[in-house]
Structure formats: C-alpha cells, structure tokens
Amino acid sequence: MLPAAYGGFLTAAMLEWTGYKGRLKPVATLMAALLLAASVLLPFATQTSSFFVAAYWLVLLLFCAWLIWLDRNTDNFRPANVTCRVSPFFRRPMPLAAI
C-alpha cells in the first residue's frame, strides 16, 4: 500500500531531521488503524475507504507539521537563505545591448 510506504519513509525522515525523541506509539497506532480500516472497507465501500485514507494523510500532515514546529529550526526558511543559495551554474541574463 503506497500511503503506508510513503508515510513510513516520511515519518522516519522527519524523526531524524528534527531530532524527535518522544513516543510514536499513539500516532503510529492511529495511522495504522486508519489504513487497516480503509483496506478492509475497500471491496465493500470504496468512498468510505477513501475517507479513511484521506484521514490518514491528514494525520500524517499534522504530525509532520507538529514535528517541524517542535524543532523550531528556522534556518532554512529565512529569505536571505533562499535568495543567496543559488546554483553555481546559474548565470545572470546578459543585457540585450551586449549581444
């Protein structure tokens, strides 16, 4: 199931990036229950199943946003970092008069 694989990768990466040391059991149990309910309901009620998958994505988004907020690392979000870190292969366009 693609949401489980993507969610597992993103959760593991976010834990490493933010240095989170707390418990994952409540969030992991909720996400697993949502995907399990979606996979059980899929053959019988596809629309209801899709609501459970959407709820899973919402829980994953909120959990990742919470981890980012807990970390409070704003080094990557300052405007100076965005504008100053330009690829070395980027060249400014030449004025038309120089052509």
pLDDT tens digit sequence for 9-67: 999 999 888 888 889 999 999 999 999 999 999 999 999 999 999 999 999 999 999 99
Q: Which two tokens stand for residue 57?
A: 């994505």
Could you tell me the sign of the dihedral formed by the alpha carbons of 80, 81, 83, 87, in that order? positive
- pLDDT for the residue numbered 82: 46
pTM of the model: 0.71
- pLDDT for the residue numbered 87: 52
Rounded to whole angstroms, what are the CA distances from 61 to 14, 68, 99?
11, 11, 49
- pLDDT for the residue numbered 19: 87
Distance of CA 35 to the CA centre of its chain: 17
**Residue 88 vs residue 16, higher pLDDT:** 16
Mean pLDDT over 73-90 rounds to 54
pLDDT over 90 (residue 93) = no
Instruction: Report residue 72's pLDDT band, with 50, 70 and 90 as the boundaries.
Output: confident
